[in-house]
Amino acid sequence: MVKPWKERGSNILNRESVYDLATVEETQKIGFILGKLVFGSSVILCQGDLGAGKTSLAQGVAKGMGINEEITSPTFVIIKEYTSGNLPFYHMDLYRMENPEAIYELGFDDYLYGQGVTFIEWAEKTPNLLMPKEYLLVQITFCGTGRQIKLRAHGALYEDMLKEMPKCI
């Protein structure tokens, strides 16, 4: 069962949520809820160790957006575009990006500032220069036999998203 942790103080009310997840399905459910709440030009930056569940979360987001295509990790192609949902979904994986400057050549900023939803795995490899001012940061860590997902809002629209999440669980 997805169990939200208590907010960690009034100074971050609606800016951070933490969930303990026991299964891949629970990770996908959190993603599904996010997919229902995203809006045009949403940016989700996802960080976590190899195998932590970043792609599982992306699968849930896509499903929540109404995308029924199989969502796989874009590790070797870097960017996969899905357009069958409510909004375009741009799934990126920067794991194999050895030269962060190469991101510019891919038209990365066109995705970030476009009308779709941009989901970036291994976001820590993204040059800060390109990052929008507002985004949702997702950190997935191993926690015992499960995972812990921390969602941190950077901007009012993402704070609203986090405020709505418990109502959807």
Supply the pLDDT for residue 149: 95
pLDDT digits (tens, 9 = 90+) for 64-74: 999 999 999 88
If you count them, how many residues does the chain have? 169
- The CA distance from 89 to 162, in Å, is 20
**Considering the domain boundaries, does residue 125 fall inside one?**
yes
Q: What is the mean pLDDT of residues 99-106?
A: 73
- The CA distance from 129 to 168, in Å, is 34
Report phi then psi at 53, rounded to 5.
Answer: 125, 20
Supply the pLDDT for residue 129: 60
Range of lowest pLDDT (4-8, 23-27, 104-108, 131-135) = 4-8
Query: Is-contact 30 160, C-beta < 8 A?
Result: no
**Considering the domain boundaries, does residue 47 fall inside one?**
yes
Q: Tell me which amino acid residue 19 is.
A: Y
**Considering the domain boundaries, does residue 5 fall inside one?**
no
**Considering the domain boundaries, does residue 165 fall inside one?**
no
Counting residues of the chain whose pLDDT is more than 90, the rounded percentage is 63
- The CA distance from 46 to 63, in Å, is 17
The count of structural domains within the chain is 1
pTM of the prediction? Answer: 0.89
Tokens of 57: 């979360």
Supply the pLDDT for residue 114: 87
Supply the pLDDT for residue 77: 84
- The CA distance from 150 to 45, in Å, is 12
Supply the pLDDT for residue 10: 31
Domain containing residue 18: 14-159
Report phi then psi at 130, rounded to 5.
Answer: -90, -15
Q: Tell me which amino acid residue 140 is.
A: I
Angle, vertex CA 61, rays to CA 59 and CA 66, nearest 5: 95
What Cα–Cα distance (Å) separates residue 110 from each residue in 90, 114, 117, 130?
11, 6, 12, 10
Across the chain, mean pLDDT equals: 87
Supply the pLDDT for residue 152: 96
Supply the pLDDT for residue 8: 35
**Considering the domain boundaries, does residue 8 fall inside one?**
no
**Considering the domain boundaries, does residue 3 fall inside one?**
no
pLDDT digits (tens, 9 = 90+) for 35-92: 999 999 999 999 999 999 999 999 999 999 999 999 998 877 889 999 999 999 999 9
Tokens of 79: 């960017």
CATH number for the domain harbouring residue 141: 3.40.50.300
**Considering the domain boundaries, does residue 102 fall inside one?**
yes
**Considering the domain boundaries, does residue 26 fall inside one?**
yes
pLDDT digits (tens, 9 = 90+) for 109-165: 888 888 999 999 998 877 666 778 899 999 999 988 899 999 999 999 999 999 999
